[in-house]
A = this chain, B = another copy of it.
Amino acid sequence: MSKTTVYEVKVMFGDCDPAGIVFFPNFSKWMDASSLDFFMQCGIPPWRELKKTHGIIGTPLLEIHTKFFKPATYGDTLRVHTHVQEWREKVIVQKHVVQRGELVLCEGLETRAFVIHPDGDPDRLKAIPVPDFIKEKCL
């Protein structure tokens, strides 16, 4: 497990589709933003800093699994509750619960790796073991 952080999102008109509700991939965008916010709230520097110090480019997704229960629309304020559900050797699983007030709108699992550009080659990405200094800050 880990700490749980909360990331607030205000839904914009441009986030919504012709059905008048949030276009669903935006929930993934917001979970991704909340994932990064989680690391920053835990005291991890932004990736552009970690790239310089540790070569870490970011935490690309290996897998996402999201369930949508209720729609949202523009003008809504949402809160994404985020924690790490599972730490594996080279992978973490983050869970995000998106709420409007007490109402749960959707839930998602993200499986992420920490990646570098091997040998500094900007065209390639390689997963590394979850760094200890990152895990320690998140618990």
Contacts and interface: CB of A to CB of B under 8 A. Distances in A.
A12 B10 CA distance: 12
A10 to B, nearest CB: 8
B61 A64 contact: no
Contacts of A60: 19, 21, 24, 68, 71
Interface of A is mostly: mixed
Nearest to A9: B10
A3 interface: no
Interface string A21-62: 101111011101100100010000011100100000110111
A41 to B, nearest CB: 12
A18 interface: yes
Given A24-B61, A46-B75, A75-B46, A33 B13 contact: yes
A73 interface: yes
Interface string A70-87: 010111000000000000
Nearest to A8: B10
Interface of A: 10, 12-14, 16-21, 23-26, 28-30, 32-33, 36, 40, 46-48, 51, 57-58, 60-68, 71, 73-75, 115, 122-123, 125
